[in-house]
Amino acid sequence: MSRLIRQHLLPRLSNPYLAPLTDGAVLGWPEGELVFTTDSYVVSPLEFPGGDIGRLAVAGTVNDLAVMGAEPVALSLGLILEEGLPLAVLERIVASISATAAEAGVNIVTGDTKVIESRQPAPGSGNQARDGLFINTAGVGRRRAGLKLDLSRVRPGDLILINGTIADHGLTIMSVRSGIEFESELRTDAAPLNGLIAALLDSGADVRFMRDATRGGLAAVLADISEGAGVSIEIVEEHLPVSRTARHAAEMLGLDPITVANEGKVVAVVAPADGERALAALQSHPLGRQAACIGRVAGSQPPLVELVTRIGGRRVVQRPYGEELPRIC
Amino acid sequence: MSRLIRQHLLPRLSNPYLAPLTDGAVLGWPEGELVFTTDSYVVSPLEFPGGDIGRLAVAGTVNDLAVMGAEPVALSLGLILEEGLPLAVLERIVASISATAAEAGVNIVTGDTKVIESRQPAPGSGNQARDGLFINTAGVGRRRAGLKLDLSRVRPGDLILINGTIADHGLTIMSVRSGIEFESELRTDAAPLNGLIAALLDSGADVRFMRDATRGGLAAVLADISEGAGVSIEIVEEHLPVSRTARHAAEMLGLDPITVANEGKVVAVVAPADGERALAALQSHPLGRQAACIGRVAGSQPPLVELVTRIGGRRVVQRPYGEELPRIC
């Protein structure tokens, strides 16, 4: 199988840097800061509406670089295949990896493939599917010079922006697993955000901090910001972009969309005077059409996240613990 | 479990770059070439005489950088844990990762942990053990300026050097799996070779090309060089460093040591005039005490590897295919 991959699949990823006969890729690097990140992906099922584990892996690592203010330069790709993974599935996922990398404008410059024996869920574990495929992507990016993205720069009055609807990825996965179907299809939002984030930074808006909202959803990112910067945050429920289908799915699954995983959403904290400019920059990009200003940094104490509800009440948004089903990404 | 790791294990890896609250690490980078590489590790068992999957993962990625002439700068670490992996095992492996990184002088600057459900081998598959842990390491290194390591520079007369005994890693794993024991213990040779390789390059010897001999053993590296450079290679059996225990183990397991995996061996092709200088540099390092010149580039045609046997015969060394047991690294 390993030979099959080298011969039939990796050529699809080919680029000038991915030389099969060397142990790594050599990249020219003008002086400047480098950002380095990694993530493994174990999502089940491997394919789902709007994406697959391959798109997730490329987009996830690109986004980790982009939120740190780096333009992604190159990715590595580590595949761990379970014997018996259908070749057609593998081919589709490799094609998706290749397409997502092209969409993000990055090359996959070095890779590795391992094959593990087929296994099955432990009896009584309630698990059904085999794993089939795990993916690790690491990435290197070049940081924009002069950029100061830091939680220490977050201060009262700053605005909280997000580039579109929340909870789509997690609800898609959970709906597929639970066999629930909806009128209009739920789709993962998995997408590389480097282009969108470049547009935001190019606007000249003073961005204090960014983070992509993945596991734990928007709630986890807001908790990170609140705790990390030592500020209280106020979010307005009616400004939160949530699609009708997602809202419906969340109700049926008994979940709060604010705690559900995304794979193509960035939360940006922006200086008060730059809110409109930043929002316009996000909305000018295809992945930011539904961008919104969802709240603000209310004060310096206590480090809490509060949601102003539709009926004007207030509730504290907790950092989600143990809320997430396993294998969401 | 994931929280446990963040709280109890990752602190052991801590360094100024590994900041838990960011999505990646920022590294200053003066102008110069960057080498980027990745490898996943799925070895079974997870621990074995002389090492474990963690030591393998750090050493393997460090070595991939070093053979490309790069000084390793930073590693990423992706852990995929199977539920039920004993915490004590995980603690030992993380300690080993940390110790091996310190030995190599590199920092683990970014990481990720995923947990998968417990699985068991498919019935009738003959597999016994659970997996427990998969590791991916990616690495970035800085390439020495002015270095020209390239297969195109290999030419007739060049010498082939190796830094010590072959086959120790693969034979260790296979002996553990088969339950065979020997008088003196077989131990993996897994080790980070960047210090040794730096000593070789510092000697000023004209090194044409280097590769670490891992899966497929020495035979695979020699086949790579022969085919890649379009040269014939002649290796002298009595110059091959093989320990008595390894030779004995290989006989019992029916294996040719030249095709068995190593995890701490580098093959260097050196200009004829620089053989002694290069060998002295290798032997001056603790990981090169048993370094030897094992053969030479014999001619430009045909691209074959020949072994001159102890009794003066000649046999062609084939690139090993399907020879390797799964999960050796």
Residue A14 reports pLDDT greater than 80: no
* pLDDT recorded at residue B8: 66
Q: Which of A48-52, A109-113, A177-181 has the highest mean pLDDT?
A: A48-52
| Average per-residue pLDDT for chain A | 90
Q: Which of B65, B70, B136 lies closest to A78 in CB terms?
A: B136
d(CA B134, CA B66): 23
Answer yes or no: are the C-beta atoms of A261 and A169 closer than 8 Å: yes
Report, as ranges of residue numbers, the positions in chain B whose pLDDT lies below 70: 1-10, 14-22, 121-130, 322-326
Structure tokens at B145: 């300026």
H or E element, residue A253: helix A244-253
Residue A187 near residue A270 (C-beta atoms within 8 A): no
Q: Determine the pLDDT at residue B18.
A: 63
Point out the residue among A23, A37, A115 whose CB comes nearest to the CB of B68: A23
Q: Would an 8 Å CB–CB cutoff place A294 in contact with chain B?
A: no
pLDDT band, very low/low/confident/very high, at A329 (cuts 50, 70, 90): confident
Q: Note whether B67 contacts A: Cβ–Cβ < 8 A.
A: yes
Mean pLDDT of A133-142: 97
Please name the member of B24, B34, B111 whose beta carbon is closest to the beta carbon of A65.
B24
Strand B70-82 vs strand B107-116: parallel, antiparallel, or unpaired? Answer: parallel
Return the residue in B62, B117, B177, B321 with the most chain A beta carbons within 10 A, the one to mutate for interface testing.
B117
**Nearest residue to A39 (alpha-carbon basis) of A91, A85, A75:** A75
| CB-closest option in B31, B78, B121 to A31 | B31
Q: ω into residue B302 within 30 of 0, thus cis? A: yes
Which helix (H) or strand (E) segment is A61 a member of? helix A53-67
Q: Do B38 and A119 touch (CB under 8 A)?
A: no
Amino acid A326: pLDDT: 67
- C-alpha pair distances (Å), A112 with each of A18, A122, A221, B20, B293: 11, 28, 32, 27, 30
Beta-bridge partner residues of B148: none
Which of A112, A134, A141 is the closest to B38 by Cβ? A112
* Residue from B266, B247, B267 nearest B310 by CA: B247
- Report pTM: 0.93
Question: What pLDDT is stored for residue A30 in this prediction?
Answer: 87
Closest CA to A13 of A114, A93, A116, A131: A93
Percent of chain A with pLDDT over 90: 74
Across A129-135, average pLDDT: 82
Position A129 pLDDT exceeds 70: no
- Point out the least confidently predicted range of A5-19, A224-238, B219-233, B243-257: A5-19
Distance from CA of B254 to the nearest CA of A (A): 23
Judged by CB atoms closer than 8 Å, whether chains meet at A31 and B35 is answered as no
Cα angle: A317, vertex A321, A322; to 5 degrees: 140
Q: Which of B15, B34, B147, B153 to mutate to test the interface with A (most CBs of A within 10 A)?
A: B34
Tell me the DSSP string of B190-236.
Answer: ----HHHHHHHHHTT--EEEEEE--TTHHHHHHHHHHHHHT-EEEEE
> What pLDDT is attached to residue B252?
92
CA distance A210 to A268: 4
> B129 contacts in A (CB within 8 Å)?
none
Region A85-112 average pLDDT: 93
Q: Are B245 and B180 in contact (CB under 8 A)?
A: no
Which tens digit of pLDDT belongs to each residue from A303-320? 999 999 999 999 999 988
CB-CB under 8 Å, A34 with B140: yes
CB atoms within 10 A of CB B203: 19
- pLDDT, residue B31, reads 87
Q: Which residue matches tokens 């969401």?
A: A328
**pLDDT at residue A84, as a whole number:** 87
- Distance (Å, rounded) from C-alpha B47 to C-alpha B81? 15
| CB atoms B70 and A212 under 8 Å | no
Q: Is B182 exposed, middle or buried (0-12, 13-18, 19+ CB in 10 A)?
A: middle
Does A249 score more than 60 pLDDT?
yes
pLDDT of A40 strictly over 70: yes
The amino acid at residue A191 is A
Contact A36 B67 (CB under 8 A): no
Residue A266, SS3 per DSSP: strand
> Which ipTM value was assigned to this complex?
0.91
Q: Is A33 in contact with B35 (Cβ distance < 8 A)?
A: no
Interface test with A, best of B37, B208, B224, B319 (most A CBs within 10 A): B37
